[in-house]
Amino acid sequence: MRIKRLELHGFKSFVDRTTLVFPRGLTVVVGPNGCGKSNLVDAIRWAMGEMGARKLRGKSLEDVIFNGSESRKPLGMAEVSVIFDNAEGNGDLGAFASSPEIQVTRRLYRNGDSEYLLNRVPCRLKDIVTLFLDTGVGRDAYSIIEQGRVDALVNSKPTDRRIVFEEVAGIHKYRHRREEAQRKMESTTQNLLRVSDILEEVERRMRSLKRQAGKAERYKAARAEMRELDLALSSRRFVQASRELDEAQGAHQKAVARVEDLSIRTVTEEAAADRERETVHEQETRLHACERAVHELDARIAQGEQRLNFLRREVAGAEETVERERREHDELEGRVQSLGEEHAGLLRQQTELAEALAQGRARLADCESTAAEAGRRAVEFEHRTESHKSAVVDLMSAAGRLGSRVAGFESRREELTRRAAAAEAERERIEEQRRDLEARSSGVNEALAQARSERDQLREDLARVEAALAEAIRDAQSLETERSAAKDRLADRASRLASLRELEARFEGLGRGVQTILKERRTGAESTAQGVLGLVAEYVDAPKAFEIALEAVLGNRAEAIVVEARDQGLSLARHLRERDAGRAVFVAFDARAELGGEIPPAGVDGVVGRLRDLVEVRPEAADLADALFGEA
């Protein structure tokens, strides 16, 4: 098998797709520095699965992708295909032995994805490496040697040269398979260790289940008694609840009848109360109307009284005015009389003056000045006389008007007095009606209050009866719920007990030797039936909080077989050994403990107490428990 063709695209300096054909007889590639000779070798090694970037003269695998130049853009993928000529049919190639050509292709993308293909079919790198083992073809094969590799091979250590010789001899593939087989064996060994740990854990759990089965066996007797007691208690409670329910139903029926009677009475009384309420409402309406009328009359009376007082004040004022005007009239009459007298005097004076004038006319000439003065005085007296006459007329007219007003005031006062008396009589009549209505309303209110009180009392009685009925129903439902829950718990525990009995019947979780002894004991074999008392777990029980401590102290002795005497245990051990029926631990029932150390008191350094005192032990097995626990 030889390299027939090499195809490159985007690998290092081979930016364009390039195909190199290697004819027969070509063994060396030569050329000037920098022409790409080493890139060809790197391409072949990379296609064959080389993963080391330093061996490909780069810092990372992405360096094999063309990174671009001044005139070319970088590419996103590098691809190399190596085509081998297999015309001779190499038998070491397995399924490809009959293929005339074998094409190995590798692609790498800038995002880190890569692909491997064999004859254009996707495959794994491991498939390629395995295919070319011991063929002289590969990433480190001796068939392709770059510059300096010959000197390195000559000067290498014997162990390094041995690898090349083994590959030439065709044993490298078997060494590789041996190493792979050793790795698989180591992995299998680790798996076996894990399986062993798992089995040990399962056995530990089985021992715990076995102890639980022993507890279940002890539990079943108490549970049977408890079940009978529960059934008896439930039956008694059910009978009592049924009786109470019957009584409650009877009370309920009586209460319903009483409620119906009370409802009828309540309806009747409410109808009567409604009628009374309507009557009271009508009376209250009439009372309110009367009260409004009384208030109106009171207002009118108050208004009339105010008006009367006002008129009285006016009459008093008018009387004062009349009195004042009378006084003025009297004064005016006096003045009129005085003026009359003065007028008479003036008339007399006038007469006298006339006489004097007549007498003095003769003397006119002589006494013109006296005559002129007398004339002025006469004219003045005439004016005064006229003025007094006019004043007398005015005073008389005013006196007449005042007399008329006084008469009108007297008449109005008499009218107001009559109206005030009538209003007082009407107010007394309305007050009498109001007192009568208040008396009737008080009686109606008392009857209504009594009816309401009876209705409230009936409602309270009804509420108490309904509450008692609801309480009785709730009690009955609660008892039924408890009975159902008790049945469910009983069924669940019966199922668990059946499961535990089944496990116990098959002696699941016990060692082979223990199972053999117990099965022979069950079948009544004479060699084992005598002297075997049971398992240690059947004699010792611990609360849940101390189960772990009990397991730590007893260890595998929890499933030890208790025998009557030490000799019987030795005999049974020989019996198992002769039959190759497994092993078992035997504990003599009459064993004695050997105590020596001082036990710290409870409460010191986290000490709760002796485990022996914290677990439950059958009374007849006290010595056995002391021997098992020792100072624990």
Domain contains 384: yes
User: Which of 145, 170, 195 is the C-terminal boundary of a domain?
Assistant: 170
Query: Please, which residues have CB within 8 angstroms of residue 497's CB and are 6 or more apart in sequence?
Result: 216, 219, 220, 223
User: Which of 131, 150, 170 is the C-terminal boundary of a domain?
Assistant: 170
Tally of domains within the chain: 3
Query: Please, which residues have CB within 8 angstroms of residue 378's CB and are 6 or more apart in sequence?
Result: 350, 353, 357
Task: Tokens 């004695």: give the residue.
Answer: 592
Of residues 624 and 347, more confidently modeled: 624
Where in the sequence is the domain holding 546, given as residue range(s)? 510-632
pTM above 0.85, yes or no: no
Helix, strand, coil % (nearest 5) of the chain? 70, 10, 20
Nearest to 93 by CA among 51, 49, 138, 140: 138
Shared-domain flag, residues 263 and 150: no
What's the token pair of residue 538?
């059947």
Residue range 220-247: average pLDDT? 74
Write out the DSSP string of 74-139: PPSEEEEEEEEE-TT--GGGGGGTT-SEEEEEEEEETTS-EEEEETTEEE-HHHHHHHTTTTT-ST
Of 409-418, 469-478, 502-511, which range is least confident?
502-511
How far apart are alpha carbons 232 and 225 in whole angstroms?
10
How far apart are alpha carbons 510 and 498 in whole angstroms?
19
> Tell me: the pLDDT tens digits for 296-326?
656 666 665 676 567 567 656 656 765 776 6
Shared-domain flag, residues 529 and 446: no
Of residues 7 and 581, more confidently modeled: 7
Cβ neighbours of 89 (radius 10 Å): 12
Q: Report which DSSP code applies to 10.
A: S
Shared-domain flag, residues 379 and 445: yes
Given a contact cutoff of 8 angstroms between Cβ atoms, the answer to whether 82 and 48 are in contact is yes
Task: Tokens 């083994």: give the residue.
Answer: 166
Nearest to 136 by CA among 172, 161, 88: 172
Look up the CATH number of the domain holding residue 597. 1.20.1060
Region of residue 450 (phi > 0: left; psi between -120 and 50: alpha; otherwise: beta): alpha
Domain contains 501: no
Domain contains 70: yes
Residue range 194-216: average pLDDT? 81
> Tell me: the pLDDT tens digits for 524-579?
665 655 678 777 777 777 776 767 777 777 776 777 888 888 887 888 888 888 88
Strands 561-563 and 586-588, sheet pairing: parallel
Output the CA–CA distances (angstroms, integers) from residue 347 to 310, 340, 342, 384, 550, in the order listed: 51, 10, 8, 12, 167
Domain contains 325: yes
Residue type (1 letter), 210: K
The yes-or-no verdict on residue 103 having pLDDT over 50 is yes
The yes-or-no verdict on residue 8 having pLDDT over 90 is yes
Which residues sit opposite 7 in a β-bridge? 19, 81
Shared-domain flag, residues 108 and 250: no
Residue range 342-351: average pLDDT? 63
Task: Give the model's pLDDT for residue 243.
Answer: 76
Shared-domain flag, residues 470 and 568: no
Given a contact cutoff of 8 angstroms between Cβ atoms, the answer to whether 381 and 343 are in contact is no
Q: Is the dihedral of CA 345, 346, 348, 352 positive or negative?
A: positive
Q: Report which DSSP code applies to 64.
A: G
Shared-domain flag, residues 460 and 525: no
Shared-domain flag, residues 243 and 360: yes
Residue range 394-417: average pLDDT? 64
Given a contact cutoff of 8 angstroms between Cβ atoms, the answer to whether 431 and 294 are in contact is yes
What's the token pair of residue 204?
């530990």
What's the token pair of residue 260?
């119906």
Task: Give the model's pLDDT for residue 582.
Answer: 79
The yes-or-no verdict on residue 259 having pLDDT over 90 is no
3-state SS, one letter per residue, for 371-431: HHHHHHHHHHHHHHHHHHHHHHHHHHHHHHHHHHHHHHHHHHHHHHHHHHHHHHHHHHHHH
Write out the DSSP string of 570-606: HHHHHHHHHHT-----EEETT------SPPPPTTSTT
Domain contains 194: no
Domain contains 217: no
How far apart are alpha carbons 290 and 496 in whole angstroms?
90
User: Is 490 strand, coil or helix?
Assistant: helix
How far apart are alpha carbons 601 and 595 in whole angstroms?
16
Given a contact cutoff of 8 angstroms between Cβ atoms, the answer to whether 76 and 11 are in contact is no
> Tell me: the pLDDT tens digits for 610-628?
776 777 777 777 777 777 7
How far apart are alpha carbons 169 and 9 in whole angstroms?
35
How far apart are alpha carbons 207 and 215 in whole angstroms?
12
What's the token pair of residue 51?
């993963």
Task: Give the model's pLDDT for residue 81.
Answer: 94
The yes-or-no verdict on residue 583 having pLDDT over 90 is no
Task: Give the model's pLDDT for residue 311.
Answer: 59
Shared-domain flag, residues 472 and 542: no
What's the token pair of residue 451?
């009816």
Nearest to 354 by CA among 373, 375, 333, 385: 375
Of residues 186 and 36, more confidently modeled: 186
Residue range 23-43: average pLDDT? 82
> Tell me: the pLDDT tens digits for 268-287?
766 765 676 676 567 667 65
Shared-domain flag, residues 622 and 523: yes
> Tell me: the pLDDT tens digits for 590-608?
765 444 444 444 444 556 6
Domain contains 259: yes
What's the token pair of residue 243?
């009786």
Helix axes 158-169, 172-361, angle to 10 degrees: 100
Nearest to 79 by CA among 59, 108, 103, 55: 108
Nearest to 208 by CA among 451, 554, 515: 554
The pLDDT > 90 percentage for the chain reads: 5
Of residues 466 and 77, more confidently modeled: 77
Shared-domain flag, residues 473 and 514: no
Query: Please, which residues have CB within 8 angstroms of residue 38's CB and are 6 or more apart in sequence?
Result: 57, 146, 147
Look up the CATH number of the domain holding residue 115. 3.40.50.300
- If you average pLDDT over every residue of the chain, what do you get? 72
The yes-or-no verdict on residue 214 having pLDDT over 60 is yes
The yes-or-no verdict on residue 395 having pLDDT over 60 is no
Shared-domain flag, residues 307 and 438: yes
Exposure b/e, 92-110, CB count within 10 A at least 16 = b: ebeebeebeebbbbbbbee
The yes-or-no verdict on residue 424 having pLDDT over 80 is no
Given a contact cutoff of 8 angstroms between Cβ atoms, the answer to whether 39 and 11 are in contact is yes
What's the token pair of residue 40?
């060809």
Shared-domain flag, residues 531 and 431: no
Domain contains 204: no
User: Which of 138, 154, 170 is the C-terminal boundary of a domain?
Assistant: 170
Look up the CATH number of the domain holding residue 294. 1.10.287.950
Nearest to 49 by CA among 100, 152, 103, 124: 124
